[in-house]
Amino acid sequence: MPTSPFMSLNGRVVPYDQCNIHAFSGVVKYGAGVFEGLRAYWNAEREELFVFRLHEHLERLRFGMKVLRFDTVFEADFMAKSLLDMIRANNLRENVHLRMIAFLDGDDELSSTGPVGLVCGAVPRPASKAVQDGVHIAIGTYGRLSDNVLPPRVKSTANYVNNRAAELEAKRNGYNGVLMLTGQGKVSEGSGACFFMVRNGALHTPDVASDILESITRDTVIRLARAMGMEVHERTIDRHEVYAADEAFWCGSGYEVQPVLSLDRLAIGSGAPGAITRALQKDYFATVEGRTNEHPDWLTPVWAKG
Ligand code: PMP
């Protein structure tokens, strides 16, 4: 059991093995769920655990509940309290990955819209080795789902059948991960991360109409890069343009910022993590760990009194 001993179910802290829903609930039958993956970082010097961009994650979750036409869209305050109560019940003082799912409960037919439940849990997790070492990825045979099929900008459970198939294929073929293309053959995103490349000192990333999740880490990286004086372009990107990039990386709350060293076994740039990627990583970790004073609004302290 990788998950911490206490979870939250519908606003109540419960032991892990009592966090149950019915096997015929709407989320199980129809994939009618929407979820978030967030991280909280322990800052030893400040003796504080900071949840990164909690507000933005909760607003994306609420947007997903609206688009799935759930008859209840939980207030952000209720969801924040559920999450923080769970973290405190586990007495967490280390880096953790946090998971929240708003789900269709009950046992009804396809077009039911409630009742709606909320579950939160935590998994202690240090940074992955890929942050230092980088990853080798491939374009697979599965295209990214498109906006008129399922909404890519909603982090819905059902969407991840697409991501999972693409990731499994890449791993079967010996890669660390997959870069998906849109139905039009343009670069979209990874199975759990948004993609960036560096060309001539500027950052380029697929725009929000490239069937991507509107990633919070992507937004963070764009803001940090612009604050460092870099140009950032959000636009359509061709597969073969990635082969011409000087550097590349992908990012997400779970992935953090991972250098992409090759695509389809063609080295990107020198084939080693690039200087701009390293500079952005440095800034990213200083920000999420609360070692800068630039973005206090992005950090929710778990243990602060009052
Ligand atoms: N794309 C996909 C498909 C993802 O699952 C994720 C992870 N949530 C991301 C991008 C990155 O999003 P975020 O930065 O908001 O975690």
Which CATH number is 68's domain given?
A: 3.30.470.10
Contacts of 77 (CB under 8 A, 6+ apart): none
CB-CB contact of 84 with 128 (8 Å): no
Q: Is residue 117 part of a domain?
A: yes
- 293 pLDDT tier (thresholds 50, 70, 90): confident
> Is residue 89 domain-shared with residue 156, that is, in the same domain?
no
Among residues 257, 254, 195, 248, the alpha carbon closest in space to that of 224 is found at: 257
Q: How many domains, in total, are found in the chain?
A: 2
**Ligand 1 pocket: which of 150, 213, 250 to mutate (most atoms <8 Å of CB)?**
213
Q: How many CB atoms lie within 10 A of CB 149?
A: 12
Q: What would you report as the CA-atom Rg of the chain, rounded to the nearest whole angstrom?
A: 19
> Is residue 78 domain-shared with residue 134, that is, in the same domain?
no
- 306 pLDDT tier (thresholds 50, 70, 90): very low
Query: Average pLDDT of 132-140?
Result: 97
Percent over 70 (pLDDT), the chain: 99
> Is residue 164 domain-shared with residue 258, that is, in the same domain?
yes
CB-CB contact of 246 with 269 (8 Å): yes
State if pTM tops 0.75: yes
> Is residue 265 domain-shared with residue 175, that is, in the same domain?
yes
Q: Is residue 297 part of a domain?
A: no
| Nearest protein Cα to ligand 1, atom 3 | 192
Residue 126 has pLDDT above 90, yes or no: no
> Is residue 85 domain-shared with residue 106, that is, in the same domain?
yes
| Nearest protein Cα to ligand 1, atom 4 | 192
- Cα 123 from Cα 129, distance rounded (Å): 17
> Is residue 121 domain-shared with residue 142, that is, in the same domain?
no
- 52 pLDDT tier (thresholds 50, 70, 90): very high
Atom of ligand 1 at shortest range from CA of 253: 16
Select from 126, 156, 183 the last residue of a domain.
126
> Is residue 143 domain-shared with residue 283, that is, in the same domain?
yes
Q: How far is the CA of 153 from the centre of ligand 1 (A)?
A: 9
Q: How far apart, in Å, are the Cα atoms of 124 and each of 3, 40, 90, 100? A: 8, 9, 11, 15
> Is residue 153 domain-shared with residue 248, that is, in the same domain?
yes
Q: How far is the CA of 38 from the centre of ligand 1 (A)?
A: 10
Q: How far is the CA of 89 from the centre of ligand 1 (A)?
A: 27
Pocket of ligand 1 (CB under 6 A): 37, 155, 163, 189, 192-194, 213, 215-218, 252-253
Residue 247 has pLDDT above 90, yes or no: yes
Q: Is residue 227 part of a domain?
A: yes
| pLDDT single digits (tens) 77-119 | 999 999 999 999 999 999 999 999 999 999 999 999 999 999 9
Residue 200 has pLDDT above 90, yes or no: yes
Q: How far is the CA of 83 from the centre of ligand 1 (A)?
A: 19
- 127 pLDDT tier (thresholds 50, 70, 90): confident
> Is residue 111 domain-shared with residue 167, that is, in the same domain?
no
Q: How far is the CA of 167 from the centre of ligand 1 (A)?
A: 14
Q: How far is the CA of 194 from the centre of ligand 1 (A)?
A: 6
Each as own residue / partner, the long-range contacts of residues 106-109 (CB below 8 Å, 24 or more positions apart, any chain) are 106/22, 106/25, 106/26, 107/22, 107/24, 107/25, 107/26, 108/26
Q: Which range marks the domain in which residue 149 is found?
A: 130-288
| Nearest protein Cα to ligand 1, atom 2 | 192
> Is residue 149 domain-shared with residue 111, that is, in the same domain?
no
Kindly give the residue spans of alpha helices, DSSP state H, lying in the chain: 26-30, 54-67, 76-89, 129-133, 160-172, 216-227, 239-243, 275-288
Select from 94, 126, 158 the last residue of a domain.
126
Q: How far is the CA of 240 from the centre of ligand 1 (A)?
A: 23
- On average, the pLDDT of the chain sits at 97
Question: For position 148, which CATH number holds?
Answer: 3.20.10.10
Select from 126, 151, 174 the last residue of a domain.
126
Atom of ligand 1 at shortest range from CA of 219: 14
- 60 pLDDT tier (thresholds 50, 70, 90): very high
Kindly report the three-state secondary structure assignment for every residue of 219-287. HHHHHHHHHCCCCEEEECCEHHHHHCCCEEEEEECCCEEEEEEEECCEECCCCCCCHHHHHHHHHHHHH
Atom of ligand 1 at shortest range from CA of 56: 15
> Is residue 155 domain-shared with residue 54, that is, in the same domain?
no
